[in-house]
Amino acid sequence: MRICVILPAAGAGTRFGGDKLSQDLGGRPVLLRTVELFAKRDDVAAIVVAAPPDAMDEFRARFGGPLSFHGARIVAGGKAERWETVKLALAALPDDCTHVAIHDAARPAASNDLIDRVFAAARLHDAVIPGVAVTSTLKRVGDPVVSVAADDSIADAILGPVTDSAQAARTKARPVLETVPRAGLVAIQTPQVFERSLLCRAYGAARLDGVTDDAQVVERAGGSVVVVEGEARNVKITTPEDMHLVRLLLGVEASAEGRAAHKRF
């Protein structure tokens, strides 16, 4: 196998509130930490980082030097959906690549054991993804409803009326429609590894609207996907709270600049 890694990094970080890939993790930005998971592996032939297409110069100015040092190539990603970014990055892979590993750029805490496990399974299966068993009770809920407590008028008379946003946060509730059986359910992670020709065919044949990961593209095209054991520490940074958790997992602290940036979010 000649595995090439794609790191989709073109997202806007809306739920985080800003540029999460530049956040400090023990003296290095999140993106660089993620690249380092693959840069020294003998079984990785190339790394492609797909950047925001409207901010390529800024992205290269911020990350170009360190990424070049690790042999990673920067290409333009998509403007809206993640699948657009992956599809563009696929076209930039070297011709001798036999397998494609796609890993979230904001998952810097994956262990070598996890990557070894996924890569080993890819020698036997054409599409391999890691997942962890769902242990929480799952509820399907309906649209939000507003319920006002009986004593709200008393509190408002004493403290004054709350703002609209505070009122919404205090009273918003969603009705439970059903409890979803969790047997057989897994929460899917990355890296996801695919035989290259299978993934390229899937991206050329499948309906791509609404897909949330690359395995779903293969599934829609009729391909078979297998799941191997993931790991709880393989956290995807989506919110500032996730960033705090990843720092704890990696045993690192943010620099003074990084802490200031964290407070702004």
Same domain, 62 and 121: yes
The count of structural domains within the chain is: 2
Domain closes at, from 123, 151, 180:
180
Report the mean per-residue pLDDT for the chain: 89
Same domain, 49 and 118: yes
Q: Collapsing DSSP states into helix, strand and coil, what is residue 67?
A: helix
Axis crossing angle, helix 256-264 with helix 240-250, rounded to the nearest 10: 150
Distance CA(18)–CA(188), nearest Å, equals 24
Q: Which residues of the chain have pLDDT under 50?
A: 260-265
Distance CA(246)–CA(20), nearest Å, equals 12
pLDDT score recorded for residue 11: 81
Distance CA(115)–CA(192), nearest Å, equals 9
What range does the domain containing 152 cover?
Answer: 138-180
- 134 neighbors 187 (Cβ within 8 angstroms): yes
172: burial class by Cβ within 10 Å (0-12, 13-18, 19+)? exposed
Same domain, 202 and 76: yes
- 110 neighbors 236 (Cβ within 8 angstroms): no
